[in-house]
Structure 1
């Protein structure tokens, strides 16, 4: 607490701001500003929250290194682009007279003397960002912008000090930031400007977001605290409750004095018991307006950069495209820039409106309505060039493709859409055509010629050539929804879309397990908007037409809306990654996957259609034999594919035990029921065998023949990135992840997956990765020792459980230990284990009890995980992926029990999924660096990767593949057990596995 201008720290010692700063380092003496008036208008001071700029730049674009020496420079490039845009936009008579970029000097400030845990939990900056900090300061100076920082103070305190001085001297201040910590400064002659959303923040915007005005932001933050800065606040009180309390009691002091009057017991007890903590929090969040400003405001006069200095810096950083765009560094005014945003008429105090504010109400983009009439259909090359130029200047563009089929590897490109801002979007048709007369709904001209005018579209090749400059521009971020599809579509046209963000994956990282992540659902959830359904423009059922036959006006509304929605979602969701500490999860586990998977899907895997046809014929003949046998056992013919007829025979005519009717009134004949009956009756076994063959024939042999490209015999599956909450991938059209591998028939199907001429297939499979992760996560010494010694883990487990020496282990004992090892990860019960091993439930329960006694760490892990998920509703993996388990809060005890089992398994299965994702993202570059660019990654099947390689390079490829996969957890996690990958090369998938 502060008293008499002094600060009392946790140990009771009193220090002043100045004394603390002197103790930290020799601070520059305070400089008294000279008068802020000139011969012209009063000072208009703009202050850039430079530290926020740096982190935004770092997280907005993928990593970038300087080609000459590998120095990380991605944040520097992004920062330069953002700074240049600001300098260009602020030109004009209503722009700032003074401009300064304010940086944080160090982590330690006077607030650490108040509270030694302040920012104690904040992670260190990413390793590749640290060397970029001094370069960003150098960049700021090169652009002619003054830099200021002060030891012992945060940048926010300097911003507050300069804002107060400008205001008190009759000037105006604009804070270029969106940080809520700075909103307490907003008032007469002081506003904020969010450059990412082009949005002015004044009193109404603060009240709209937090329910209080700027004058109460300090009190509100004191109550809610700040987990990022480790400001404790009042436990359990969020922004809405805090705003209600401050509205009712006026201010924090009154609230704390009258806390005993509050009716809600929990709220009352919190405010009474934590009053001192809340007051301490107020001192931590309160910005000081009397920091010893190191330089006077007059030193910050706006000036153009020195062309030689700026050019030399950009050349040194190898930012050549930016250098060409910047030219001599003299940003054009709005009068000379064709695409400069509209500005209001004046910039006058006290209502500060930055000159590049959008005209009209300052409504957040997510709350603005959708105006489909504002979308533009681009039909000339001049229009396309203008949109590309605007998108390039914006630095971020929403992007989407429209095609005539669902398969990205075979679809025709109908057109593309771009979005630069809300309702500022366009559609570029490329291959639309009139629907044929015989196509159902088309016009029938009889013997007369088609009199319809030709569709006006840009030549496809020319348009793609122009679009390449935008889509491959490293300075422009492309924002897509389910971008894997668009990346694959454009790759087939020779365009590599990069860099990019994917709103589907950002949502998946933020709220995996809580809801779906398709665009329509996200639009409803975050924008309150229902996008145009596809069926309204293309029809449904037999009358549905290809998108290339949709007329251009409805096509423009539909396609441009997709890009518009995507960009709006990105503006809402991307910042939440940093707020929730999930940037690293997105960057390391998700962002690289769309391009990686698009490449795999494009390659496809070759199949032998002749072998598949033979297998399909064999399966068909065996099915006929089984059907005949089933009829004989039943005593009459029946449809073996009809569950109803099977139930009537088994339970109605043969009176077999255990029959149960479903809600529809028919007998249940699911696999588990037939498996139980098959133990003592032959007919259920015959039916199970028939079903298995029927599934293999319909799902694989027949379907794979149909799915194979007739010109290459390659099958191109499609991977879903956001299908499973644990991060596991799903495969469809066709599904290549569920081919049985433990049965002879399943292996026969894998034998039909073959390498191309002169090549081999390589199968690389993690050995028992989930058990290894369980040993690490649960800190199980016995399992760790066994894995490090390279022992048979199931035999080692059996030895621990049953006191049998390893050299005397019998197969049955090992089998039982194996069942428990794998089952325990999924929360197997005594009932489930008894069914699996064919023993009574009491014996199975005794096995599980013995298991936990021998490995107490596993029980501890399970109990701790259950407690965590009950309290938070989520668990996380070793790599930070959050997995929400909504079933844990169900009213149903059975669903809650399921939620607990899912929570126990999710960190283990999720960590395994994270590891193989990390390996997949790194693999293409690792192979290329080793001179193995001809080795292609084709398939991912959970813990297995399948590659195709020239036969003579197989051994080299296996060495690189094993190295990447076995080291994939590092450097993020140092596992205490080794990861082991089994890899082999062969002519077909079965022999390689």
Structure 2
């Protein structure tokens, strides 16, 4: 390295800055709840240091050095090294990566190396720089670094604004820098748990080294030490002193990834720092960054870096009403390579809503709305009398190449809805990102993932509510009747906010180690589900009608029986009247009145009374079941049949659960009861088109298999591998009974425990489920854990993990955050613990079926089965519609795709087994 003047290297001890910043400031959080007091303090201190240095003699080289992990080569020398150090404060841990981001945002090298402490990295750079004739300033007050001081190396304590040379080291240790390690070897260090020699402090050590020259000479002449106790300790603990010297001696030969040249100071990017400051909501630092960087106050260039959310009060929303303007926006989107897209429609049901307009945004604060089907009033066709807007066909013809261009990324919020709307117009959007799913991957369990909530949380923006432009109640209009000025602001704002959220959230995925989860489990799902929803499933209206009639007749018979048992007629659907009959008139025990003064007649209450042998509550339960089936399914499903397709098109929610499971709405097809024959009857109404059959492919006991793998339960793993009856095996292990000739009731009890354990079932819950005394139920659970202690270990380990890091993970890395696990409320905490135990199991099962769904279409296509349609996903089951002559070919492909869904990422200890059945109806397919 050539030199024209003496170079000056500054090495900042990042760890020292972190803890000083943390303890100096009170707690601070961002809008999303992330603690940032240490981040703020660190950033402020580092900015001040850089500014002060630039105001003086600016350094030629500068870097910030961090500890990569607690373990270093010193732990291999002495396993008790730093063993006394407490874990960092809980609210400091999530700030560590943000602090490193702060360094990079200031365009400074951020250096750490696994297996080496920051002090060793500093020592190595110092040694290299000293050899090249540099001056070196180490920004730290750490005494361990004082051994590096010489005529050209000094320490700088920025808190006290004190620079420490050889004289300061002499004052502290009583020896020069070259003898510091000898003194430390004798005196030890309680902070780092360096043992030293008992009975010898710093002053005594300094005197001994001054008298003998160095540690080895002292130890060699220890017999001549006059003080008896000191002499005995030096002799007895000589090896301990030598070990201590190895522990305190800094390594000067760390294999660095970044050469000294890489630490050369260069002009920072103020836009990058502004983006970081804005993302962490450090408003008090914003003006300093703008002033220091020479930025204009309106220059939100930091918002365009893609690293953080943009903050701007200035918006430019355009209503596009001619092709020239539309072509300009399309060209801008192509040049940028990424465009946020949103659609406005006449309703929320993606299968019946009509497209009204499209909005686009490329940069923060700028967006457009392209109205396509607005009307001036009810019933007015767009024949020239309506608002000025581009011809819909022409606009869509221009937009289609952009929205299908593989070189342009489309970004949406809950983009599945937009995919469906645009699919109606013959547009297949690809590729795309979804901000809702980015948030879901990052923060599942912390908060919701709707745009309004995300905008408030991350951008401090409250989006315009729909009612503000369309009205409320009876006066609310569909969006095609909203005036264009209001429609433009509302629609363009949605696209603008979506783009901002994407630029904030997407970069966080790799930083959090969650990009693979997003890419492999989430990103492709909107397209798969959009096609499933579009296919829908055929429903036999007449079958539903017949079931409704049958349920009504049976309800009538039950009603008569209930009235006879009560000795009078009353409204069975009225909890108040039912409670009066049960507890006042009949005098049954267990009645409890609520705040309204009425008795509770919940299912739990009635089930308890029925278990005691009372007929009336038992009949009421039967009546309620039929009433729910009739109103929720056999009646309501008839209204859900699409008038044009004759099929029901449910909507699958990707971010509606905390475990990765899909939810089904409008209508909910996942909650159709299957434990009773009446519930299963409803599945008879779900049928295949003529010449086709429905195929149901169901993972067999997938959650138990996942539990056996995660907990490492050898007995269960072996049983699954051998294809044995897992519930019979469990009963045999727990109740010590042979499998052959087993009482079905015993197997049923084991089955209830097997599935209940996954959901954290209690003795009370199991007792209710099996209709046995609570003491017996608790004894069964205790016996289960005694036989399978690995499961109890898994549960305790998972709860501890959730408490320690705030989340649990599936085998594929999906995270579920568990903030309530530290709640002071016992009920909240207990619920969170059960959820933490269940989430990795149920979540892994959900991930497996997602992986199967994402691969299914390609697998079927490769087998020449493109016409096979995947229709529904219900818990662990996939439903397909297949031509009758292709069923036998399709089932092996479906089964293999589902059973190999883990490959090549995960090698489960147990095999996945998929049961397949086919029939004219969903009922027959089982």
Q: TM-score range by the shorter chain?
A: 0.7 to 0.9
C-alpha displacement at 1:955, in angstroms?
Answer: 1.0
2:901 counterpart residue number: 968
Q: Tell me, in whole angstroms, the C-alpha distance in 1 between the residues paired with 2:763 and 2:886.
A: 49
2:348 counterpart residue number: 406
2:299 counterpart residue number: 360
Q: How many residues align?
A: 720
DSSP 3-state at the match of 1:865: helix
C-alpha displacement at 1:394, in angstroms?
Answer: 0.3
The reply on whether 1:678 has 2:607 as its aligned counterpart is no
C-alpha displacement at 1:632, in angstroms?
Answer: 1.9
Residue-by-residue CA offset, 1:753-803 (whole Å, 9 max, x unaligned): 000111110000000001111111111110011111111111111122223
1:342 counterpart residue number: none
1:917 counterpart residue number: 850
Residue-by-residue CA offset, 1:493-516 (whole Å, 9 max, x unaligned): 111111100000010000101100
Paired residues for 1:585-984 under 5 Å: 585-679=517-611, 680-984=613-917
C-alpha displacement at 1:852, in angstroms?
Answer: 1.5
The reply on whether 1:575 has 2:499 as its aligned counterpart is no
Q: Tell me, in whole angstroms, the C-alpha distance in 2 between the residues paired with 1:274 and 1:475.
A: 57
**8 A contact 1:216–1:251 mirrored in 2:** no
C-alpha displacement at 1:224, in angstroms?
Answer: 7.5
Cα 1:558–1:808 change in 2 (3 A) is same
**8 A contact 2:341–2:361 mirrored in 1:** yes
Cα 1:33–1:601 change in 2 (3 A) is farther
**8 A contact 1:661–1:668 mirrored in 2:** yes
**8 A contact 1:537–1:554 mirrored in 2:** yes
1:375 counterpart residue number: 317
The reply on whether 1:388 has 2:327 as its aligned counterpart is no
**8 A contact 1:509–1:882 mirrored in 2:** yes
**8 A contact 2:303–2:364 mirrored in 1:** no
Cα 1:533–1:211 change in 2 (3 A) is same
Q: Tell me, in whole angstroms, the C-alpha distance in 2 between the residues paired with 1:281 and 1:484.
A: 56
Cα 1:830–1:210 change in 2 (3 A) is same
Cα 1:214–1:620 change in 2 (3 A) is same
Q: TM-score, normalised by structure 2?
A: 0.72
Cα 1:367–1:703 change in 2 (3 A) is same
C-alpha displacement at 1:690, in angstroms?
Answer: 1.3
1:134 counterpart residue number: none
Q: Tell me, in whole angstroms, the C-alpha distance in 2 between the residues paired with 1:450 and 1:946.
A: 42
C-alpha displacement at 1:223, in angstroms?
Answer: 5.5
Q: Tell me, in whole angstroms, the C-alpha distance in 2 between the residues paired with 1:502 and 1:750.
A: 34
1:254 counterpart residue number: 141
C-alpha displacement at 1:933, in angstroms?
Answer: 0.6
C-alpha displacement at 1:273, in angstroms?
Answer: 3.5
**8 A contact 2:300–2:312 mirrored in 1:** no
1:339 counterpart residue number: none
Q: Tell me, in whole angstroms, the C-alpha distance in 1 between the residues paired with 2:355 and 2:724.
A: 54
1:541 counterpart residue number: 473
C-alpha displacement at 1:831, in angstroms?
Answer: 1.9
**8 A contact 1:396–1:478 mirrored in 2:** yes
1:477 counterpart residue number: 409
**8 A contact 1:608–1:752 mirrored in 2:** yes
C-alpha displacement at 1:992, in angstroms?
Answer: 0.2
Q: Tell me, in whole angstroms, the C-alpha distance in 2 between the residues paired with 1:278 and 1:451.
A: 86
Of 425, 441, 450, 1:493 maps to 425
Cα 1:450–1:211 change in 2 (3 A) is closer
Cα 1:833–1:292 change in 2 (3 A) is closer
**8 A contact 2:63–2:263 mirrored in 1:** no
The higher radius of gyration belongs to 2
Residue-by-residue CA offset, 1:799-846 (whole Å, 9 max, x unaligned): 222232222222121111111111111122222222222222222222
The reply on whether 1:290 has 2:223 as its aligned counterpart is no
C-alpha displacement at 1:278, in angstroms?
Answer: 14
Q: Tell me, in whole angstroms, the C-alpha distance in 2 between the residues paired with 1:228 and 1:363.
A: 37
Of 336, 351, 361, 1:419 maps to 361
Q: C-alpha root-mean-square deviation of aligned residues, in Å? A: 3.9
**8 A contact 1:221–1:285 mirrored in 2:** no
Q: Tell me, in whole angstroms, the C-alpha distance in 2 between the residues paired with 1:272 and 1:576.
A: 35
Cα 1:923–1:228 change in 2 (3 A) is farther
Cα 1:421–1:830 change in 2 (3 A) is same
DSSP 3-state at the match of 1:992: coil
DSSP 3-state at the match of 2:261: coil
Q: Tell me, in whole angstroms, the C-alpha distance in 2 between the residues paired with 1:351 and 1:869.
A: 42
Cα 1:887–1:281 change in 2 (3 A) is farther
DSSP 3-state at the match of 1:807: coil
2:106 counterpart residue number: none
Q: Give ranges in structure 1 of 5+ residues lacking alignment.
A: 1-29, 36-163, 168-180, 185-205, 263-268, 298-349, 439-448
C-alpha displacement at 1:435, in angstroms?
Answer: 1.8
Q: Tell me, in whole angstroms, the C-alpha distance in 1 between the residues paired with 2:603 and 2:425.
A: 47
DSSP 3-state at the match of 2:344: strand
**8 A contact 1:207–1:214 mirrored in 2:** no
2:494 counterpart residue number: 562
C-alpha displacement at 1:703, in angstroms?
Answer: 1.0
Q: Tell me, in whole angstroms, the C-alpha distance in 1 between the residues paired with 2:335 and 2:70.
A: 36
C-alpha displacement at 1:619, in angstroms?
Answer: 1.3
Q: Tell me, in whole angstroms, the C-alpha distance in 2 between the residues paired with 1:493 and 1:228.
A: 59
Q: Give ranges in structure 2 of 5+ residues lacking alignment.
A: 18-38, 51-60, 75-81, 104-136, 145-155, 161-187, 195-246, 267-290
The reply on whether 1:992 has 2:900 as its aligned counterpart is no
DSSP 3-state at the match of 2:420: helix
DSSP 3-state at the match of 2:531: helix
Paired residues for 1:331-346 under 5 Å: none
C-alpha displacement at 1:362, in angstroms?
Answer: 4.1
DSSP 3-state at the match of 2:325: helix
2:215 counterpart residue number: none
DSSP 3-state at the match of 2:688: coil
Paired residues for 1:25-424 under 5 Å: 210-213=43-46, 222=65, 235-236=88-89, 237=92, 252-254=139-141, 272-273=191-192, 288-290=259-261, 360-364=299-303, 366-372=309-315, 374-424=316-366
**8 A contact 1:474–1:499 mirrored in 2:** yes
C-alpha displacement at 1:627, in angstroms?
Answer: 1.9
1:519 counterpart residue number: 451
Cα 1:975–1:216 change in 2 (3 A) is farther
Q: Tell me, in whole angstroms, the C-alpha distance in 2 between the residues paired with 1:844 and 1:985.
A: 38
